[in-house]
Chain A
Amino acid sequence: MELRIDKVRKEFDRFPALHETSLDIRSGELIALLGPSGSGKTTLLRLIAGLEQPTDGAIFFGDEDASHRSVQDRNVGFVFQHYALFRHMTVLDNIAFGLNVRPAAIRPPKREIERRVLELLDLVQLPGLEKRYPNQLSGGQRQRVALARALAIEPRVLLLDEPFGALDAQVRKGLRKWLREIHDQTGHTTVFVTHDQEEALELADRVVVMSQGRIEQVGTADDIYDRPTSPFVFSFIGESNALPIRIETGQAWLADRPLGIDVSGEADGPATLYFRPQDIEILTDPPGGGLAGPVAAQRRVAGTRHLELEIGGDRTRVEIEVPADYPIGETGRVAFKPKRWRLYRNDGASGN
């Protein structure tokens, strides 16, 4: 099922939770909505489900305008952050619920429902647990039951709100892989919300990065990581440094020193230089441009070492990655040059 979000906007008591947003989701795609809390990602998910009504705009399921349909009629599988299992029902009754509440005319016979539930339990790798109550399951098991319950109604799209948010790191990693497998197996169009970039980048076909009620960028993990289109995305994904600079006569300047990076074609004026700690090149013979400064702090990060340098007259701190055994000279100064970087003009344009 294709999904089309067409100029949708949502306000809560005049507070804009989601500014006008459009997004196309392809059939069978696994999409992540990624952003910090308050970015509008959960609101967007709930609008798709029909749990909220948009202030303006429309949501299309395929060619059909679903906006006028209530959540009951939309036939979406929704997995809630805290699973929302029915505590007084067994696992079997939980998963069967969506089928049991159908009108008699389209309700499968009892035995058929049970057969399907057992099949789903196999799919989510929980065979034999149908008689248990949610209270008797671990967090990971509850999550699987919640997914099986959502799949039982043969949803047109599958929506997951922070599906692994309440689990500990170990279980999380396992379930992540498993969700990808289920998705590939069932082929549902799937949208999930997360604030964990690792989860989004690893799991999704495409990632929708959101901030303050707006979509910042839509793209594959490579797009998002290597070609961030906005300072927000650059700094939100991975580690990054931001350095205010000035462009003059085709050169990038920090105060009175040229950085030695090629900015030909850029108009003159102030800009911000973004680069990642690992995308740098250490300069051994300082003169001839580059950035240099005293080491203000250092810390060991796994196989490498991160140095914090104080750069320029106003001592802007930047972080760079060096080999763990990198010798810091007696002067305590390190000079480097960004190898890969992006320039964001303060008026919003960008380039590299």
Chain B
Amino acid sequence: MALSATASGWRFKQPSVIPGFGLTLGFTLTYLTLIVLIPLAGLGVRSAALGWSGIWTIATDPRVVQALRVSFSTSLIAALINAVFGVIVAWVLVRYRFPGRRILDAIVDLPFALPTAVAGIALTALYAPNGWIGQYLAPYGIRLAYTPTGIVIALIFIGLPFMVRTVQPVMEEISREVEEAAATLGANRFQTISRIILPGLAPAILTGFALAFGRAVGEYGSVIFIAGNIPYVSEIAPLLIVIRLEEYNYAGATTIALIMLIFSFAVLLAINLIQAWSRRRFGYGN
């Protein structure tokens, strides 16, 4: 209606009686440009200066390849574990009433609020060979800290709230009627959960998985303490960026960062596609 009223048929903004659009949007764009866009563009400019061959040489360096491989594989495993346990945790918090539920619900956000460095040293204190938990595993030859497994542990900690908090609100919205409908049609509880509830949650689970995975790949603080940081074994890509920076090897640092950024954008795009697809198909997002 508003569109057809204009001669051109296209307008940037729908008319509104509410003031402040120019001011707030202007400030938003300025601030966004100064803090986020220009610095990120700087990275792009630096990479462009390196040229394709320069980037390729650095990117195929065995230590870089291995660091990226460690980062991606540990993040993938951690996100998968979180997908399973995060859904169970969300289910228990949404569906069951038991003493301490509220406290548990609150504590799920701990990884959001606890500084990563603190998480890192705490997990190391637990899983180091002489640590609280590590000391019971060491006699069996099981080492968790200072191995890729240690990285996975830290990344599970970091990623858990992303999974739970993405799935939880969608779970709360599942209508009782839908579950009852499945029951009246003869489905037992297992069939209702596996055929009705979980498929309905799939977009949310995928989104939570992508968020946890994306965050894990870039994670630094909690990992470096527990990882042992052995090159080619438990050295993650963000750490390699820091090492390259300390060597004043800006080209090396920039290239690794570029690869990771491209990955981040791919994850963002994937999340948006999942949600758009889900909205189009089923009429709900997340």
Contacts and interface: CB of A to CB of B under 8 A. Distances in A.
B183 A133 contact: no
Contact of A101 (B177, B180, B185, B283): B185
A123 interface: no
Contacts of A153: 185-186
Contacts of A89: 199
B184 A101 contact: no
Interface stretch (B14-22, B43-51, B188-196, B264-272): B188-196
Interface in B172-225: 175, 177-178, 180-188, 191, 195-196, 199-200, 202
Contacts of B175: 82, 84
Nearest to B185: A98
Given A75-B186, A88-B200, A80 B282 contact: no
A29 B80 CA distance: 54
B282 A76 contact: no
Given A88-B282, A149-B185, A51 B191 contact: no
Contacts of A75: 186
A297 to B, nearest CB: 40
B185 A133 contact: no
A51 B181 CA distance: 10
Interface residues of A, number: 31
B112 interface: no
Secondary structure at chain B's binding surface: helix, strand, loop or mixed?
helix
A71 interface: yes
Contacts of B196: 86
Interface in A89-136: 89, 97-98, 101-102, 133-135
Contacts of A86: 178, 181-182, 196, 200
B282 to A, nearest CB: 4
A76 B199 CA distance: 25
B281 interface: yes
B284 interface: yes
Contacts of B181: 78, 80, 84-86, 149
Nearest to A51: B180
Nearest to A49: B184
A177 to B, nearest CB: 25
19 contacts: A49-B184, A51-B183, A74-B184, A77-B184, A78-B180, A84-B177, A84-B178, A84-B181, A87-B200, A87-B284, A88-B200, A88-B202, A88-B281, A97-B187, A102-B186, A133-B282, A135-B281, A149-B181, A150-B185
Interface of A: 49, 51, 70-78, 80-82, 84-89, 97-98, 101-102, 133-135, 149-150, 152-153
Interface of B: 175, 177-178, 180-188, 191, 195-196, 199-200, 202, 281-284
Counting from the closest, the 3 A-B pairs by CB-CB distance are: A135-B283, A98-B185, A84-B177
